[in-house]
Each structure stands twice: as structure tokens, then as C-alpha cells.
Structure 1
Amino acid sequence: MKSKSLAEAIYFRSPVCVQDLLVSTYGYKLYQKRYSGSLYREILEQVRRCRSWNSAEIEAHQSERLHEIVKHCRSTIPYYQKVFADYGLHENDITSTEHVTRLPILNKETLRTHSEQFKHPGIKPFILQHTSGSTGKPLTLMVNEETYKLAMALLVEHEEHHGVQFGARRATFAGRMIQNADNMNPPFARMNWAENQKLFSSYHLNRDTFAWYRVELDRFQPVEIIGYPSAICDLAARYKDAGISPKFHPTTIVTNSETLLEWQRAIIEDVFDCKIADYYGTAEYVLFAGQGTDGTYHLNPLIGVTELQPNSDDDNAGRLIATSLTNTTMPLLRYDIGDTAVCKTDCRSGTVVHKLYSIEGRIDDYIETPDGRKIGRIDHIFKGVKGISEAQVIQDAVDHCTIRLITSSALPEAEMYVLKNNFSARTGGKLRLTVETVASIPRGANGKFKSVLRKTPKG
């Protein structure tokens, strides 16, 4: 931690040209770790091939790898040695994906509390993945080379599938702090020459600085914009408010790390005149789902087996449970990710799935009516409401919600009526509502936007 702080101190005190050099040097180091060597090339080719697999081919591959990882866990991983003994299980009891439900579900708190017991004794990880997740509690995960390079190949192939070749000019809008937040002097971007990537600050974009962003993007001419939906939507809203169209035409926009909301999609696709290719992955490297041209999320069969466990009255919605097929260094079997999703099959008894209709986001991202109904994807209340560039719903009492809006001008009475009517329809008229227009909506410490906040005890 001390060396990282020293490196950051040196970076922030350096002139911009040196910062570009430092970013590119670090980028080259990551490039070598992510994309170099025959193993990466072999994995990328397998990722490309598996896109065309049919159901039988997916089942055959996953069943074989599942049996192998289960055998590895029973013989090598301390936590699972005890689990298999307690449940009276043998690896031969799990020879197909449907057998995975014979194992208990693993929650984050168990993993966090007993993390040492999940490690392959004596094996050095290829990388350490540090994550705090939604709880803010730190968790360090050990990842082997195959899994890390597979995760990199999955994103590369996802971009290829949507028309962006590896190495194409890429503009990134995410949570990276490229200069001090109180330094409002341009430039607000740094160049990573190793990947032909320009890193734009999401923290410095406002009405006054938008002109710099617009000129720089026109100059850079990115083929792809990638990053947080909230950050890219903020950029798109600036164009919309200014009545200006970009002088570049990206092939696609790739969003990640936050739940992509429909009102965000509408603004982004309208301004940049191209489709969004959202994808969903996890810090634990147990799942990757890329949105296809049909709008659904296709779960990659190489990285993990995914199930849906019901958590509501909707038989097609449930909690995402995933099992790693590759990470032998710190394997996770039936890991409760903490996110929810919707599929088109009945998941009342728990179902292994290969495609998701939508990813709903964190299990906490819902509001709850006084009669106990949990309502997710509340962003649908903004459908048909014009003039909103950003919105957040806060449940601040058992029977009350506040909606924060950022708008280009005062919301007309007719639009306000539509919004309130949509909210009442979704909540059954059980919640009182206050609507506030604000200048900005705070992000989390990691720069991510949270569309729903619950400040009441969770049921």
C-alpha cells in the first residue's frame, strides 16, 4: 500500500507529458500480463469458437470441467474438503451441470470470513483481485493465469463481435482518478499508448468543461467508447443539452460495472447514433455475460456454470449463483454473487441457464412497499418522460420515496404527471413521493452511480 501511495504521489506531482508516459508504461505492463503468450492466443480462439456451440456442446464442456474442478476442490481445497465430508459427497456424484445443486450455496460473508480455507495450499496466484463490492468490506481473491487471461479474451471477443477490432482507438469513461478532483484545468484525459486508449476523467465533466471534452473527442475520433453507463450518459446529456452532435461516429459503445438503465440507453444511443453492447462480469471471475444483437445476455460457457435461484414472486427472476470452471487457485462453487437477473425459463427450483433476458443489478437495488413487495428495475418509471438527463430513487422511509432529477430545464407539469403516474402504477399507490430537481447526484467512492438508495431497514 505504501509503494502504491508513493507511486500515486509521484504521478500527481508530475507534468501531464510525464503522466502520459507513466500511464502508458503501466498500460504496457498490463498488456503483457493480459494478452501475451500462446496461452492467451489459445484461449481467445476457444472463446471465438464457443460462440457457435449448441446446447449439447455447451453441456458436454461444462459437465467435464465441472467434474474436474469439483474433484480438485475435494482433494485440495481445505474448505471444500470439509464440505464434501459433511455432505457425504464424492466428485463422481457431480458429473453434469444439473448435479451442481447437490452442493450448498456459498455466500460472500462465508468467503470473506474463511478466505484462507479457499486457497490452493502452496500455489502462488497469477494476480490478486481486490474488491470491496457493495458492502464496502474488503475481499482479496487469488486468480490463476488461465482465468485472468480468459476474462481478458472474453471482453476482446465481445468487442470483436460488435465490430470493434483489438487495438482500435478507445475512449474510456470510468472511475479512474487521472488528476486531482480540485484541479479543474485541462487536459482531463491521459493517453495509454499501449492499448491506443484515451482515459477521460468522469469527475471533471460539467457544463463549463464540456467544450474541452467535445473538442478532444472530435480530435481523437474513438472507434469505441467504453465505461460506466452513468458516466457515458452524463457525456451524452451534455451534447443533448448543448444541441450539438459529436463529430465522430463510434462503431459501438460498451458499458459495464453498473446496471445499464433504459433511460440511459435511450439518451446514449440517440446522441451517438449507435447501439450499446453492455456486458456483465464479476470481480470473482465466475461469470461473463455479453449482450448480443438480440438484446439478451449470453453467458459464456468457458468461465463458469450459472444458475438462477428464485427470490421473488416472479418465477423467471432470481439470484445469480455461479461456479468457477477454471480458477483452481481459489475455486468458488455455487457462489451467490448478490445480483439478480431474469431469464425466460421457470427458475422456481433453481435452473442452470445459458442466456439471461436482463441483469437487474444488486439484490439491494430495490424499493419495498409497506406491504412487503420488493420492486426492482424501478427505472421503468422514467419511460415516456422527456427532459431527464439523470435520476436517482431514494427510499427514505417505509412509506416514502424521493426522486432526484437532473434536467436541462424545469420539468413541464405534463411530464411530472407522467412520472408520478408511472411511479404510482409500479408501486400500487402504496408509497408517497417527493420529486426534487438537483444540480448533481453524488457518486460512490469508486465513481459508480447508484440508481436506487435504500435508507430504511431492509426486509
Structure 2
Amino acid sequence: MTSISEKFYFGSPVWLQNILVSAYGYKLYRKRYTGIYNNILQAVRDSRDWNQDQINAYQNERLFSMVRHCRNNIPYYQKLFSEYGYHENSFTDLSALNRLPILDKQTLQSNIQLFRLPGEKAYLTQNTSGSTGTPLSLDLDEYTYKLAMALVVEHEEYHGVPFGARRATFAGRMIQNSDDLNPPYARMNLAENQLIFSSYHLNANSFKWYYERLNKFAPLEIIGYPSAIADLATHYQLADVKPRFKPKAIVTNSETLLSWQRQVIEDVFGCKVFDYYGTAEYLIFAGQDNEGLYRLNPLIGITELNSSKSSEKQNRIIATSLTNYNMPLLRYDLRDTATANNNKTADSAISYLEEIFGRVDDYIETPDGRKIGRIDHIFKGVYGIKEAQVVQDSLNMCTINIVPRDNLSNIDTDQLKRNLISRTCSEMHVVIQEKSSIIRGANGKFKSVVNKLIDKS
């Protein structure tokens, strides 16, 4: 609610807060879902049925147009192409992309004005959270912004949730002051039939209110951070109750979905979780299909996987914009990693991702230089944990912070230590610490791994 004075909002009674949330919701609705939006949504729907030849033809054409735009209009690329002697005719095929250097966040941050289209007012400026220590302000044109909205809507539609269906949201939105412990813990956005729940007020004492409000609202979809929805699901298990409604789908985003989180969510709500991956730079959208693979939408950008070592399975995601003419980014390093699905990836083109592992700095690093991601598997078979986080303090020491369901003494901590050591190295020293809660980062996001060795500047 950036357009609403926080002081006025938090000082208002709940009935007025609901009006303010809906008013802001209608403002966003007009920004997102009017004008050219319907044509864009139809294009997204149509693109789901494209074969690889259609995808390649579309992306080749859009890449040529984008490079031509960059060479003619974007100061940073005008200089770059001049230095390399490149012309748009040098980029008539996706395979030519690797002629360009990879763009890192530091270069973008240092030259931010040179990436903007001179004399053009942005449809929207997206401010990133700066969770890695470097916030950015990114200009978007209307097509790109509305395409991003359409991609989420089509992802939900594909999994049986029509636009406008009852939706419960659990994310990082601060809908009431953290020290205000009185219900209600949700506000209604009538513009999208969306009930926005606070993720900051859920505990054993308040769960009864969440339980009853969700039953009354009976959402067709629950959407939000996987950590927040998994926390909700855990409270159902602790209270030994089941929801009196069955969602069509659970949709997660913004954090890496961990295997144990998926398991507890699906067990409680009796439906599948369909994660999607997108970024604040609006370069990529990958939504899980019915098989659990991340399908890359071809309209918004081109995705490459890049590794400095041929033996590495987990490769950095490099993305190129095909739509945002206000601030195009070519071969931008998203600093996240993933693996491609070889069975559904034709030739050198990448259409599906098998797994997305999160940020490069969300890894445990071993003394011999290996980076171990997705260590959530260490919790498999270890019961009694409500939430956990692994912190790497040094090359040979990790601390596992645990929020127990009942008592830490009931958790097989020795097994947990063995599991982590077996996935890292025998020299790793593991310490277990009990916590009452795991501190969230920017926008309330949960990090399953914190690596203190990496400079986040």
C-alpha cells in the first residue's frame, strides 16, 4: 500500500482499513488488467500450445527487434555494440546471444541511467527489495508489466483457478502493526475477491481465528510465500484439525519451495502445490506444470543456464528481456541457479527447468570449494520440527536453528547432524540451536540457508 499513508492506515479502524485496501486494490486493478491486458492474456494462453519450432521462431524475431532497439536507443548498449562491432544482424538466432558478455547486478547498478530509454516515461518503476544489499529501481513499459500480470493469471487458470475466484493470500504484507495482537488478522480486497492474511500474527493462540476465518471464506486458492503457507499448514497439524474447505490449488512464489514445505501443505489441504518463479526484473516466468516441471514462458524472455564448470549440475540463470523496451537487459545474471529438464528440452533451447535452487548465496560451501544447495533433504525422517534454518558460520561449521513443535529433546538431533555432514563433508562441525522463531528478511521472506561467508554488498 505504498500510495496510502502508513500512519493514516494503521491509525484507522478496521472497517476503514478494509475500504482503503479495496480502494488501493481497484487502483492496481486498473493499472494491471485494463487496456491491452486482454489481448496479452490471450497471447499467453495461445503460447502454451506452441511447439519448439514456434517458440524458436518467435524468440529469434523478438531478439532481433530488441537488439536493434538497444543499438539505436539505449546508451549502454550503443557503446557496447560499438566496442564489439556488433549490429542487429549479428543476432538473428538465439545461438548468437553468447557473443554478448553476461551482465551482472553491480554493472547494472553502477550504470543504471545508461540502461534507460532516454526521454521515455516509465509505465511503472519497480523497486527491488535489495535483499542482497543492492536495491534497484527498474523502469517498465506497459506491455511488460501487464504481461507479468497475465502470466500469473494464466498459471492459476491452467491449474483450475479462474480470475476473480476467492483467493487467500499469505505473504509479507503488513496489514496491521506487529504489536497489535487483536483480531481480525486479515483485510479484504474486494477488487480481486482477495482476503489478505497477516503472516506475522499466526501462532498457537491466534490459529483458531485463522482456522475459522478460512473456513468461512472457503478460498478456491491459497497463494503466497511457501514458508508462510507451510507455517499455516503446520498449525493445522499441531491443532489436529482439518480445513473444512478444499482449495483447487495452492500457488507459491517469491521463495524457494522446499520439499518438506510442499509435503506438509499438500497433506493438510489435500491439493497440489504449483510453484512459480519470476523476478523483479521481469525477465523470466516459469510455472510448474502438472508434472512438477517449471515451464518457461517464451513471451517474456530468453533463458540460458551458465556454469563456469562443466561438471556443475546447478547453473546460474541468465535471462534476456524480449519485451521491456523502457529498460532492456541482455544476458542478465539473476544470481539464482537451476537445472534444465533434458527430456523436455530440445537441442540447445531451454523450455523446462527441473529444479530452481535459489540464490547463489543460499548455499553451504565446503572446504574443497563445492556449493551445496537444496539441503532441505536433511530434514527428511526427522520429526518434531516446525521450522528450521541452516547458517554457515565458517567453512567447517554450520548452525541449525530449529523451532520445535513441542520440545527440542524430542527431535533426533544426532540424525540431523549426520544428515547435514553426509551432504557436505566429514569435517563439518554442526551445532543445533533452539529458537522461538526464525527471523524473516526483506518483505517477510524466509531464507532456509544463510551463508555468512559471502559478501552481500
Give the TM-score normalised by the residue count of structure 2: 0.96
Is residue 283–residue 301 contact of structure 2 (8 Å, CA) maintained in 1?
yes
* 1:129-166 residue CA offsets vs partner (Å, 9 max, x unmatched): 00133323221000000000100000000000111010
- Out of 220, 229, 233, the residue aligned to residue 223 of structure 1 is 220
Post-superposition shift, 1:12? Answer: 0.8
Alpha-carbon spacing, 1:24–1:458, altered in 2? closer, same or farther (3 Å): closer
Equivalences for 1:309-320 in 2 at 5 Å? 309-311=306-308, 314-320=311-317
Moved more, 159-168 or 6-15: 6-15
Is residue 286–residue 303 contact of structure 1 (8 Å, CA) maintained in 2?
yes
- Out of 51, 54, 57, the residue aligned to residue 51 of structure 2 is 54
2-structure distance, mates of 1:413, 1:426:
23
Matched, 1:327 2:313: no
Moved more, 368-377 or 412-421: 412-421
Is residue 308–residue 351 contact of structure 1 (8 Å, CA) maintained in 2?
no
RMSD value over aligned CA atoms? 1.8
1-structure distance, mates of 2:166, 2:8:
28
Alpha-carbon spacing, 1:33–1:457, altered in 2? closer, same or farther (3 Å): closer
2-structure distance, mates of 1:4, 1:355:
35
Alpha-carbon spacing, 1:414–1:197, altered in 2? closer, same or farther (3 Å): closer
Post-superposition shift, 1:6? Answer: 6.8
Matched, 1:374 2:368: no
Which residue number in structure 2 is paired with residue 246 of structure 1?
243
1-structure distance, mates of 2:44, 2:302:
15
Which residue number in structure 2 is paired with residue 24 of structure 1?
22
Tell me, what secondary structure is at the counterpart of 1:177?
Answer: coil
- Out of 63, 68, 71, the residue aligned to residue 66 of structure 1 is 63
- Out of 8, 12, 15, the residue aligned to residue 14 of structure 1 is 12
Matched, 1:362 2:335: no
Is residue 361–residue 454 contact of structure 2 (8 Å, CA) maintained in 1?
no
1-structure distance, mates of 2:281, 2:352:
20
Matched, 1:173 2:170: yes
* 1:415-455 residue CA offsets vs partner (Å, 9 max, x unmatched): 33432222121013120111222221111131000110112
Alpha-carbon spacing, 1:35–1:323, altered in 2? closer, same or farther (3 Å): same
Matched, 1:199 2:196: yes
Which residue number in structure 2 is paired with residue 454 of structure 1?
451
Alpha-carbon spacing, 1:313–1:442, altered in 2? closer, same or farther (3 Å): farther
Matched, 1:160 2:157: yes
Tell me, what secondary structure is at the counterpart of 2:442?
Answer: coil
Alpha-carbon spacing, 1:155–1:24, altered in 2? closer, same or farther (3 Å): same
2-structure distance, mates of 1:304, 1:290:
14
Matched, 1:277 2:274: yes
Matched, 1:186 2:199: no
- Which residue type is aligned with residue 140 of structure 2? V
Equivalences for 1:46-445 in 2 at 5 Å? 46-311=43-308, 314-345=311-342, 352-410=349-407, 415-445=412-442
Residue identity (%) = 58
Moved more, 431-440 or 407-416: 407-416
1-structure distance, mates of 2:134, 2:360:
16
2-structure distance, mates of 1:439, 1:330:
43
Post-superposition shift, 1:394? Answer: 0.5
Is residue 393–residue 453 contact of structure 1 (8 Å, CA) maintained in 2?
yes
Is residue 307–residue 351 contact of structure 1 (8 Å, CA) maintained in 2?
no
Post-superposition shift, 1:293? Answer: 0.7
Post-superposition shift, 1:345? Answer: 4.3
Post-superposition shift, 1:385? Answer: 1.9
Tell me, what secondary structure is at the counterpart of 1:453?
Answer: strand
Post-superposition shift, 1:352? Answer: 4.2
2-structure distance, mates of 1:217, 1:141:
36
2-structure distance, mates of 1:325, 1:417:
50
Alpha-carbon spacing, 1:407–1:93, altered in 2? closer, same or farther (3 Å): same
Tell me, what secondary structure is at the counterpart of 2:412?
Answer: helix
Alpha-carbon spacing, 1:361–1:311, altered in 2? closer, same or farther (3 Å): farther
Is residue 131–residue 441 contact of structure 2 (8 Å, CA) maintained in 1?
no
Alpha-carbon spacing, 1:17–1:82, altered in 2? closer, same or farther (3 Å): same
2-structure distance, mates of 1:32, 1:414:
51
2-structure distance, mates of 1:297, 1:183:
39
* 1:264-307 residue CA offsets vs partner (Å, 9 max, x unmatched): 11111111111001000010100000011111100000000000
Is residue 306–residue 317 contact of structure 2 (8 Å, CA) maintained in 1?
yes
* 1:292-338 residue CA offsets vs partner (Å, 9 max, x unmatched): 11111000000000000015564432000000000001000000011
1-structure distance, mates of 2:324, 2:24:
25
Is residue 131–residue 442 contact of structure 2 (8 Å, CA) maintained in 1?
no
Is residue 129–residue 442 contact of structure 2 (8 Å, CA) maintained in 1?
no
- Which residue type is aligned with residue 7 of structure 2? A
2-structure distance, mates of 1:280, 1:370:
31
Aligned residue pairs, count: 453
